[in-house]
Amino acid sequence: MTQQIRLNKFLSDCGIASRRKTEEFIIQGRVSVNGKTVNTLSCVINPTKDKVALDGETIKAKRLLYFLLNKPKGYITSTNDEKGRKTVVELIDTKENIFPIGRLDYNTTGVLLLTNDGDFSNFLAHPKNKIPREYEARINKPLKLEDEAKFLKGFYIDGKKGKFVSIEIQKKDPTLVKVVTVEGRNHFVKKMFAAAGYFVNSLDRTNYGVFSHKKIPVGAYRLVTENEIEEVYKEYAKKN
């Protein structure tokens, strides 16, 4: 999403130095914007239009990348693993340093976003934005109709109350349940079912906000467009 940002943040995001160090560069008069020296920390730029230079050398803006992966089983949602297990980053063909937004369990499948945009990651994952996650859970026994209300009312999970925004039992197969939550806590869906006496045999995240894995084979991914990123900000920022 194209937006105005502070000059020191731009320099830091480009990997020049820490944000505090880049502030020193600005105060020292080593940074210019569109050919004019800037020495005030309040300077704001447009990364796509303004030309920034440090000691006369043009600084190229970091290319922000966004990937939508249909995560398969058997992958760790991390950039590396001390046990040598496969990570979701290995599934993405890029030389950029990217990271997953949030987590999906080792054997949980479905929608997972990866990026090098820290601001977008924070926006999508922050609890205050209440971005919905939709899951399809296969549980060990048919879900009782009387238990639906319990999930909507909520359970205390690790000392904090959580609930599903909605729950839908498949009529032909009541062991297949679709739930929506705005929670991002680890193992949240599985712990919710466990609190009511059910065990989740398999779990698939079908949607995360505006993103769906529809038409994306398991283990495959696609690039997310700038328009889609803007749609996320417009859809969820207005609610806060």
pLDDT, tens digit (0-9, with 9 covering 90-100), for 135-155:
999 999 999 999 999 999 999
Packing angle of the helix pair 118-125, 226-237 (nearest 10 deg): 40
Site of tokens 């040598």: 84
CATH superfamily of 5-58: RNA-binding S4 domain (3.10.290.10)
Q: Rounded distance, CA 237 to CA 204, Å? A: 26
Site of tokens 């919905």: 132
- CATH architecture for segment(s) 66-127+211-237: 2-Layer Sandwich (3.30)
> What does the chain come to in residues?
240
Q: Rounded distance, CA 52 to CA 59, Å? A: 6
Q: Rounded distance, CA 128 to CA 150, Å? A: 24
pLDDT, tens digit (0-9, with 9 covering 90-100), for 190-234:
999 999 999 999 999 999 999 999 999 999 999 999 899 989 999
- Is the distance from CB of 54 to CB of 31 less than 8 angstroms? yes
- Say whether 132-208 and 5-58 share the same fold: no
Which amino acid is located at 37 in the chain? T
Residue 240 has pLDDT above 60, yes or no: no
Q: Does the CA dihedral 14-62-208-104 come out positive or negative?
A: negative
Answer CATH for 132-208 from 3.40.50.1980, 3.40.50.300, 3.30.70.1560, 3.10.580.10: 3.30.70.1560
Q: Rounded distance, CA 67 to CA 88, Å? A: 11
Is pTM, for the whole model, over 0.85? no
Q: Could you list the active site residues?
A: 105
Domain boundaries in the chain? 5-58, 66-127+211-237, 132-208
